[in-house]
Amino acid sequence: MRRAAQETILLITVAVLALVVWFVIADAESREIESRLGFSLPVEAQELGSDLVVVGDPLPVTVTVVGREAEVAAARPEHFRASVSLRNRVAGRHSLPVRVETLEGEVRVRAVQPETAVVILQETVEREVPVVVEPSNPPPLGFRVGTPEVFPETAVVSGIASEVEAVELVVARLDLGGATVSVERDVTLEARTAAGGTVTQVVVNPRFAEARVPIEQEVFRRSASILPNISGTPAEGYRVRTVRATPATVDVLVSVEGLGDEIRVLTQLIDVSGRESDFMTQAELMFAEGAAPAGDSATSTRVSVVIEPVFTSVQLPISVELVGISSSLELTYASPLTARVTLRGPMALLSELEGPLGPIQVSLADYPAGRHRIDLRWVPPQGIELVELEPSQVTVALTSIPQPQPSEPDEEQESQDGQPLSEEPATSEDGERE
């Protein structure tokens, strides 16, 4: 009996404690708290007149709310809206009360800080500006963007005077997406400054424009070398030294297929047959298939042809002639009587020479009896260079001729008279002239 009474008391105690805990939890969940939210709210301008605009944004506000602790902890900025009413307001500076509404949740707004917001209103102005298409993401190689078209060609921007005055044009941005055909699309208009900056604090009317960008297959402008087209051969003994075109290049138009090919433009045939001197001529240009002259390119060029003689070297014999021997002397030895010259010059001049040349005349008028080495000198014809004269000296021996005496000649004289001409006479070292 006693054990049953204890168990009954224990059960009653547990039940009472459970009720107490339930009441504590229920009281905590239903108990309201007051708290300042940890975020701020932007202030919206409402009921703005059609001829006014807000300059700048009002300062944001912070909010103190009352509600159950769970609701306050779950509060987010999007659950509230802070606003000021601009009904019947005129241009100027206004300090207006801020109203905060709860859009979601069970919390209530207790306080707003600051309670008022400063709003500056200005009258709007309008200005008509041109609409310009701005293509982006151009087509691939071999295609080009033509002249864009847009409708309408002008738009009206409105807003505060300072913002409207900053607008230079309205841009219709059209993404071509690498297209190979013309693109036509309605696009949103953006107000831009002269420097290209975007102006957001204005209203553009209309908001959209119809833009069209033609895509055309492209021809490329390239510079091509001009190659003079020479035919024939100059006169014998002459050759073409240089050929120069002025200008040396010309601009041509080629398709994308011809971009990797070497492009040369020939001139009409220029005949150099029988030419012996330089000349200039104006020659028409001949464009190969797949290349056409650019619209502003020349169709002819001035060609300068330089003709020069062909230089060569020859060796020819030349005779040596001894003249002016004194009557009291006789020539007893002379070698060589034929030399060889090496000449260089134009082939046409050298071909006119015939060998043996000469003669090279050597005067012995001033040489006494004895053995002498005399330098050989020879002047070639004009326009021809003497490269070498071999040998460069001739060796001679002169002997005095005996004079007749009234007396009979002695034995020594008879010996001299009997000396043959082909033998060199004995002379002293003083009698040899170099």
Residues 6+ apart with CB under 8 A from 108: 65, 66, 67, 102
Residues of the chain falling short of pLDDT 70: 1-2, 16, 19-30, 141-142, 256-261, 290, 355-356, 405-434
Q: With beta carbons less than 8 A apart as the criterion, state whether 303 and 267 touch.
A: yes
Does CATH number 2.170.120.30 belong to domain 32-121?
yes
* Same fold: 32-121 with 220-309: yes
Per residue, what are the HEC states of 140-192? CCCEEECCCEEECCEEEEEECHHHHHHCCEEEEEEECCCCCCCEEEEEEEEEE
What is the predicted pLDDT for the residue at 410?
54
CATH code of 311-431, in short, is: 2.170.120.30
Residue 101 DSSP SS3: strand
Write out the two tokens for 182.
């013309």
Q: In what order do the strands lie in the sheet with 220-231?
A: 238-246, 300-309, 279-286, 264-271, 220-231, 249-254, 291-293
What is the predicted pLDDT for the residue at 420?
43
Q: What single DSSP character describes residue 383?
A: T
What is the predicted pLDDT for the residue at 350?
85
Residue 94 DSSP SS3: strand
Q: With beta carbons less than 8 A apart as the criterion, state whether 51 and 85 touch.
A: no
Vertex 291 angle, CA 290 and 295, to 5°: 140
How many C-beta atoms surround the C-beta of residue 209 within 10 A?
23
DSSP string, 285-354: EEPPTTEEE-TTS-SEEEEEEEEEEPEEEEEEEEEEEEE---TTEEEEEEE-SEEEEEEEEEHHHHTT--
Q: Name the pTM for this structure.
A: 0.39
Element (H, E) at 71: helix 69-73
What is the predicted pLDDT for the residue at 268?
92
Residue 369 DSSP SS3: coil
Query: Which value, in Å, is the radius of gyration of the alpha carbons in the chain?
Result: 59
Architecture label for domain 220-309? Beta Complex (2.170)
How many residues in the chain? 434
Sign for the CA dihedral angle at 141, 143, 145, 147 comes to positive
What is the predicted pLDDT for the residue at 25?
56
Residue ranges per structural domain of the chain? 1-28, 32-121, 125-217, 220-309, 311-431
Tell me the C-alpha to C-alpha distance, in Å, between residue 49 and each of 23, 67, 373: 55, 37, 128
| Domain 125-217 class, CATH top level | mainly beta
